[in-house]
Amino acid sequence: MSSLKYRLFKNKLLTLSVVIFSALTAVPLVLIIGKVFLKGWRQINWDFFTKTTPTTLDALLAINNNQPIPGGIANGIVGTLMMVLVASVIAIPLGVMCGIYLSENRKTKFSTVVRFLTDLLQGTPSIILGIIAYLWVVIPLKGYSALAGSVALAIMMLPLIVRSTEETMNLLPASLKEAGLALGSPYRSVVLKVLLPSAFGGVFTGILLAVSRVIGETAPLMLTALGATTIQWDITKPASAVSLLIWEFYNDPNLQSMIWSASLFLLLLVLSLNILAKQLAKKWRI
Amino acid sequence: MSDKIFRSLLLVSALILLLIFAGMFFSLSKGAVPAFREFGFFGFIFSDKWISGTGQSTEQYGALAFIAGTLMTSILALLICLPFSLPVAFFVGEYFRGKKVAGILGGIVDLLAGIPSIVYGLWGFYALRPLIQSLGLSEQGFGVLTSSLVLAIMIIPYAASLSAEFIRMVPQELKEGAYSLGATRAEVIRNIIFPTSFSGIFSAYVLALGRAIGETMAVTMLIGNTSRIPRGLMDTGNTMASIIANQFGEADGLKLSSLIAIGLLLFLITAIVNFLGRLMIKRHSV
């Protein structure tokens, strides 16, 4: 056995390196948020939220006249909100019901299979869901549409909602359900009026996390929603999204200065949803 | 009566989930048939030629270059993320377990998972790429290494938070037994905590690998988009996800089918990786 001094030295060395490397891991977050914030905040003003994206030509003229680029990302904001809303309308009822089923039928073979597939679905790359929505919605409707984007996002949201609903419902004491049934209320009222409200906190945070996960997605929307330069309320037409706009700005040399403000907006939106969900999860813990 | 309807509604929602997964596999396979028929299943997988000629005769597609690109970037990302995510896991799960610092670091690392992929891509393009250029590592700054660095940051939260959970699960008595024999903390970690939680930690990294394999936007913006097997870490290439993101929009006919075939392969690879990871978690927790 090596000497005590050497062993204690090794111990200290490990502690020190764990602390140092852990601290280093926080650096990228600071760098990324710092970069986006510093380069992005200047473009953010009222027009940024209310006007649609300028054409390349307008941007070029503004740059040549040394003026700020006119226009904003209103078409992207509307598109993102609409697609996420439609995706939520599809995914929330389906996901919550599936979660209830898995929690109510815990040990059956069928549940085990569905649970496993849910996990696999959660690991499926988002671009694949883009291809799927292309095959299932874009081809039958003969054109790109916001609806196709919503379908891709909905499939992405499903596994998160299913598992968070299931896990929260599993935490509820069995006596709760028994008490409801003992009072003679039918099964559906026990589930919908006793169990689900008690599990509301967990289900809701699961939904928020799912939304924050898909709201910044780009890849599946490239294959489905395509993008649009105007505000589009019709879900059967192509629509834009904030993430898609960032991709367009990135590819258009004249619109480069709008990249960062759009990214800042998206980043703040996603991170605040994320933090909100986690704070609520802490507060509503069963 | 309506209880029966309610129960069947729950069952149907679980069935829909099953159908979505099966339908995804079916649709991808169906879309991939023309490519497999033209080049043969193994012929397609083991060909590194990706030539989209103008005439039918010169078209030639194969997945090998992209499979190679995917494996190189994701495995390298895993190796880079290891020395950061493992200390974070021990920081949160052992050293400062339950303390406020652990909560803060855990929160920061979790936020990394919330940043949209496209913002990572921008940061990689505008901040990391110039750094790589100025270090003289590569002329353009694009390539496998640049992508892997950003991928590594992206998967740290997945690897770290799951590993921390397994580290936390190591029974207190085991650790106390070792301490009572005079072991230092470093020795307890090496001889007790690490071996006990190893299979769990390993599964966390398998799941993180699954993430890296399917990551699309950031890689698409950084890998340089050349359709051949990368000749080294500094060389450009394409991953399975990035070739789909790059070329799906303008593809039709045989090329579209080939891209869907790559999607199918990507779907299968991530499903297998996730399957193995989940299986190991199940084994570990039993």
Tokens 């890689």 appear where?
A: B219
For chain A, give the percent of residues with pLDDT over 90: 72
Q: Would you say residue B1 has pLDDT above 60?
A: no
Q: What is the pLDDT of residues A202-222, one digit of tens each?
A: 999 999 999 999 999 999 999
Of B21, B115, B270, the CB nearest to A125: B270
Q: Would you say residue A286 has pLDDT above 70?
A: no
Distance from C-alpha of A163 to C-alpha of A217, rounded to nearest angstrom: 21
Q: At what angle do helices B64-90 and B253-285 cross, to 10 degrees?
A: 30
CA B191 to chain centre: 30
Residue B51, φ and ψ in degrees, nearest 5: -120, 110
> Which range among A160-169, B49-58, B211-220 shows the weakest confidence by mean pLDDT?
B49-58
A98:B249 CB<8 A: no
Q: What is the DSSP string of A86-140?
A: HHHHHHHHHHHHHHHHHHHS-SSHHHHHHHHHHHHHHHS-HHHHHHHHIIIIIHH
- In this predicted structure, what is the pLDDT of residue A43? 79
Binned at pLDDT 50, 70 and 90, residue A153 comes out as very high
- In this predicted structure, what is the pLDDT of residue A1? 58
Q: Which residue has the higher pLDDT, B205 or A66?
A: B205
Of A97, A122, A274, the CB nearest to B9: A97
B91:A101 CB<8 A: no
Computed over every residue of chain A, the mean pLDDT equals 92
Residue B16 lies in a domain: no
Q: How many other CB atoms are there within 10 angstroms of residue B286's CB atom?
A: 5
B14:A98 CB<8 A: yes
Q: What is the pLDDT of residues A88-141, one digit of tens each?
A: 999 999 999 999 999 999 999 999 999 999 999 999 999 999 999 999 999 999
| Among chain B residues, CA nearest to A245 | B118
Report the pLDDT averaged over residues A278-284: 84
Tokens in use for A194?
A: 């006793």
ipTM over 0.90: yes
Amino acid identity at B127: A
Binned at pLDDT 50, 70 and 90, residue A265 comes out as very high
Binned at pLDDT 50, 70 and 90, residue B56 comes out as low
Binned at pLDDT 50, 70 and 90, residue B286 comes out as low
Beta bridge partners of B51: B60
Residue B226 lies in a domain: yes
Report the pLDDT averaged over residues A257-285: 90
Tokens in use for B71?
A: 């494996």
Computed over every residue of chain B, the mean pLDDT equals 93
Residue B152 lies in a domain: yes
Q: What is the pLDDT of residues B112-131, one digit of tens each?
A: 999 999 999 999 999 999 99
Distance from C-alpha of A36 to C-alpha of A39, rounded to nearest angstrom: 5
**Long-range CB contact pairs, A35-41, < 8 A, 24+:** A35/B123, A35/B126, A35/B127, A36/A260, A36/A263, A36/A264, A36/A267, A36/B119, A36/B122, A36/B123, A37/A264, A39/A260, A40/A260, A40/A261, A40/A262, A40/A263, A40/A264, A40/A265, A41/A261, A41/A264
Residue of A235, A197, A172, A90 lying closest to B17 (CA atoms): A90
Residue B8 lies in a domain: no
Residue B2 lies in a domain: no
With contact defined as beta carbons under 8 Å apart, do A202 and A165 qualify? Answer: yes
Amino acid identity at B49: K
- In this predicted structure, what is the pLDDT of residue B181? 93
A131:B248 CB<8 A: yes
With contact defined as beta carbons under 8 Å apart, do A43 and A257 qualify? Answer: yes
Amino acid identity at A25: T
Q: Would you say residue B169 has pLDDT above 60?
A: yes
Residue B224, φ and ψ in degrees, nearest 5: 100, -15
Measure the CA angle with vertex B44, ends B219 and B79; round to 5°. Answer: 35
Distance from C-alpha of B235 to C-alpha of B65, rounded to nearest angstrom: 13
For chain B, give the percent of residues with pLDDT over 70: 98
B24:A97 CB<8 A: no
Domain total in chain A? 1
- In this predicted structure, what is the pLDDT of residue A86? 97
Residue B26 lies in a domain: no
Report the pLDDT averaged over residues A256-265: 90
CB-CB neighbors (< 8 A) of B123 in chain A? 31-32, 35-36
Distance from C-alpha of B59 to C-alpha of B97, rounded to nearest angstrom: 58
Q: What is the pLDDT of residues B187-226, one digit of tens each?
A: 999 999 999 999 999 999 999 999 999 999 999 999 999 9
With contact defined as beta carbons under 8 Å apart, do A25 and B156 qualify? Answer: yes
Whether the CA torsion B26, B27, B32, B37 is positive or negative: it is positive
> Which range among A37-46, B61-70, B80-89, B256-265 shows the weakest confidence by mean pLDDT?
A37-46
B214:A127 CB<8 A: yes
Binned at pLDDT 50, 70 and 90, residue A268 comes out as very high
Binned at pLDDT 50, 70 and 90, residue A24 comes out as very high
Q: How many other CB atoms are there within 10 angstroms of residue A33's CB atom?
A: 18
CA A105 to chain centre: 28
Beta bridge partners of B60: B51
Task: Compute the nearest-CA separation of B75 from chain A (Å).
Answer: 17
- In this predicted structure, what is the pLDDT of residue A54? 84
Residue A236 lies in a domain: yes
- In this predicted structure, what is the pLDDT of residue B55? 60
- In this predicted structure, what is the pLDDT of residue B10? 94
Residue B183 lies in a domain: yes
Q: Would you say residue B161 has pLDDT above 80?
A: yes
Which secondary structure element, helix H or strand E, spans residue A61, and what is its range? Answer: helix A56-64
Q: How many other CB atoms are there within 10 angstroms of residue A191's CB atom?
A: 22
How buried is A152 (Cβ within 10 angstroms: 0-12 exposed, 13-18 middle, 19+ buried)? buried
Residue A66 lies in a domain: no
- In this predicted structure, what is the pLDDT of residue A232? 86
CATH number of the domain within which B249 lies: 1.10.3720.10
Q: Would you say residue A267 has pLDDT above 70?
A: yes
With contact defined as beta carbons under 8 Å apart, do A124 and B262 qualify? Answer: no
Exposure string of B166-185, with b = 16+ CB inside 10 Å and e = fewer, is bbeebeeeebeebeeeebbb
For chain B, give the percent of residues with pLDDT over 90: 85
- In this predicted structure, what is the pLDDT of residue A138? 95
Beta bridge partners of A239: A226
Which residues constitute the domain of residue B108? 64-285
Which residues constitute the domain of residue A144? 74-283
Distance from C-alpha of A202 to C-alpha of A208, rounded to nearest angstrom: 10
Mutate: best of B16, B80, B122, partner A, most A CBs <10 A: B122
A25:B244 CB<8 A: no
pTM summary value: 0.94
Task: Compute the nearest-CA separation of B48 from chain A (Å).
Answer: 22
Amino acid identity at A35: K
> Which range among A10-14, A202-206, A282-286 shows the weakest confidence by mean pLDDT?
A282-286
Report the pLDDT averaged over residues B89-94: 94
CATH number of the domain within which A266 lies: 1.10.3720.10
Q: Would you say residue B54 has pLDDT above 80?
A: no
Domain total in chain B? 1
How buried is B135 (Cβ within 10 angstroms: 0-12 exposed, 13-18 middle, 19+ buried)? exposed
Residue A157 lies in a domain: yes
